[in-house]
Amino acid sequence: MATAFHHLSDYDPTTVPSAEGMRFGIVVSEWNGEVTGALLEGAHDTLVRHGAREADITVLTVPGSFELVYGASRMLRTQRFDAVIAIGCVIRGDTPHFDYICQGTTEGLARLNVEGQAPVIYGLLTCNDMEQAEMRSGGMLGNKGDECAVTAIKMVDYTRRLG
């Protein structure tokens, strides 16, 4: 039985508001840099394609995925961004380290969202192997970075509509 794959980068661009005038922070993990670099490229290109100016996109790196929480938190404190996109990639290994990093990062980013300073977009790939990560960062399944950028634009628009 063949498995049907959903291409993560498939979306209707007419449903995405203009990103003109929106300011985005992107915090990216250096760990698994080939993957996170591709995710960053996807997010950045999608933001620009939908009207964000280069000057309104700030990219900063942190050493690993666990540090995404601190990086996003510091970006939010500046109050310079309408949304922050957190990009990382954790590959399962032979120890429980994977579980701790994924759980801690997920809970930390969720907490930042609840605090409500600005939307924090979850762009952490949690994969069993490098092949899965590559398929989601520009491979057969598209680029999760694209999806994160679209989500960021929609969440900024949502926030603005609330007033």
CB count in 10 Å sphere of residue 130: 13
Asked if 89 and 124 touch (Cβ cutoff 8 Å), the reply is yes
- 116 conformational bin, left if phi > 0, alpha if psi -120 to 50, beta if neither: left
Give the pairing type, strands 142-143 and 137-139. Answer: antiparallel
Q: Is residue 50 flagged as an active site residue?
A: no
Asked if 90 and 127 touch (Cβ cutoff 8 Å), the reply is yes
Q: What separation in angstroms does the CA of 59 have from each of 8, 12, 54, 161?
A: 22, 26, 10, 26
Q: Choosing from 6, 7, 50, 97, which is the catalytic residue?
A: 97
Active site residues: 97
